[in-house]
Structure 1
Amino acid sequence: MIKHIPNFITALNILCGSVAILFAVSGNLIVAAVFAFLGIFFDFFDGLAARLLNAQSEVGLQLDSLADVITSGLVPGIIMFQLMNLAFVGEMQTLTDVFSGKGWNVGVTNYLPLIGLLIVVASAYRLAKFNVDTRQTTGFIGLPTPANTLLILSLPLIMEYQFSELAESLVLNKWVLIGLTLVSCILLNAEIPLFALKFKTWDFKSNAVRYVFIALCIALLVLLKFLAIPIIILLYIVLSLIWKETD
């Protein structure tokens, strides 16, 4: 019974990701972000539970990656698609709208938001590589999909809760969104060593980068709220490069 607990937590991740997709497709990006956050929460704790209960399994590993394709692949891809719809077309659309007669009349601009779905492809490829890459047992090579998802999720949350003219000019700028999509796809699969928030022990010396990162994250979130998330992702990459820690 105990060995199934991590897989049950992973199943909750899949469920939350699926609900997030439904809300994202319907244009409710805030509720979609909430369910995606819940999915990422369960994604963190399924691995932790597996280690604490000594219940790691090959099935659990594959199930976890499949869950990440949904919550940390499809969800950010669809959210980016909808943000690009706002930037290019001025309103959110379903795929039916994109390929409707109206879409043909608008022209190529109506189809450019589909670029956002490249995040889905890049995320799936990154997860496939992770499953066969023996270098990523204690650290990561390339940006983890949940981290990239948090970056994308922050955009509609900033627009909703910390709106400003500057935020609107950046978040709904078509070229910024295209650039962010391409950069995230590259970072997901780049040969960049990044540390993981996995604690083998709790002493400060061997976990200095983790404790420093967590402390800075808390401070930034308190001060900047959702605006802190893009900064935190950049901080994560910078600290990883400084510490050069993969084990």
Structure 2
Amino acid sequence: MRRPLPRKPRGLPLRAVAPNAITALALCSGLTGIRFAISGNFEIAVLMIVIAAVLDGLDGRIARLLQGESRFGAELDSLADVISFGVSPALIMYLWSLKDLPRLGWLCSLVLAVFCALRLARFNAQIDETEQPHKSAGFLTGVPAPAGAGLAMLPLFFWVWTGEAVFRSPLLVAPWVALVAVLMISSIATYSWGSLKLRRHVRFEALAVVVLVGAAIISAPWHTVSLLAAAYFLSVPFSMRSYSRIKRLRAAPVPSAAGPVAPATTTDDP
């Protein structure tokens, strides 16, 4: 009796090509940011990272829309995020400011890139875990990679539209970059946009806010991006407090429907 021939592994389905192509474009955009930073054009370098963040937000949604999720796409997305939001911002900040502190500045850049990789490795390792308290409550664990890249480059944002040399000081930039790196691998709860649900009576107001933010980005991009990054950083304590409240509610005992149970009484034998 002839044995059946082993089935050849199936290739990447056609519906998964589009989201993976967008992920590849995000990777190209992040790497191009390094090229502009080397030439000293830091504004365009930051713009490349912002474009990579926009593309990173689109690839997952397009994959779900086309039902093109795949393990290959998840791994490619993580690798692209490490480069676009870890390696590229680290090199941009080093070439912009941290090179004036060769040893400490390079150390902070390394920490930002490596901690971003560790964060994404932890995320991939926890994908199949059923017990994820932060995710089940609608929160993320630590600062996500795109937001971490934006926070790390916040001094650069301020420097572009203010021209103040203090924002370029490595004595300010080095501890800030190190702090953002620690926030990326921390276990604190941060807000997740994917789990944000609006009430019916505020949907119109939310649409108006989105329009205002879009108009502000077009008219004053650096001011708006700076304020958005600063607002996200200031929201971290509130997200921690919100998760702590949810955690306390989960840990509180649920009252029985039959009411409190009276304690058992015992009688001594005469």
Task: Settle same-fold status: TM greater than 0.5.
Answer: yes
Which has more radius of gyration? Answer: 2
- Quote the residue 2:179 is aligned against: 183
Opposite residue 186 of structure 1, the aligned amino acid is: V
Q: What TM-score comes out, normalization by structure 1 length?
A: 0.75
C-alpha spacing 1:192/1:72, structure 2 compared with 1 (3 Å): same
Q: Aligned equivalents of 1:236 and 1:11: distance in 2?
A: 31
Alignment of 1:49-68 (within 5 A): 49-68=62-81
CA contact (8 A) 2:15 2:68 kept: yes
- Quote the residue 1:118 is aligned against: 111
Larger helix percent? 1
CA contact (8 A) 1:141 1:192 kept: yes
Secondary structure at the counterpart of residue 5 of structure 1: helix
C-alpha spacing 1:67/1:33, structure 2 compared with 1 (3 Å): same
Secondary structure at the counterpart of residue 194 of structure 1: strand
- Quote the residue 1:204 is aligned against: 199
Gaps of 5+ in 2: 1-13, 248-270
Whether 1:70 and 2:83 are equivalent positions in the alignment is yes
Q: Greater RCO between the two (CA within 8 Å, min separation 6)?
A: 1
Post-superposition offset of 1:20:
0.9
Post-superposition offset of 1:176:
1.7
C-alpha spacing 1:199/1:230, structure 2 compared with 1 (3 Å): closer
Whether 1:143 and 2:136 are equivalent positions in the alignment is no
Secondary structure at the counterpart of residue 23 of structure 1: helix
- Quote the residue 1:22 is aligned against: 35
Secondary structure at the counterpart of residue 194 of structure 2: coil
- Quote the residue 1:158 is aligned against: 158
- Cα RMSD between the aligned structures? 3.0
The answer to which of 111-120 and 133-142 deviates more is 133-142
C-alpha spacing 1:26/1:85, structure 2 compared with 1 (3 Å): farther
Post-superposition offset of 1:241:
2.0
Q: Aligned equivalents of 2:233 and 2:98: distance in 1?
A: 26
- Quote the residue 2:253 is aligned against: none
**May I ask how many residue pairs the two structures share in their alignment?**
215
Gaps of 5+ in 1: 89-108
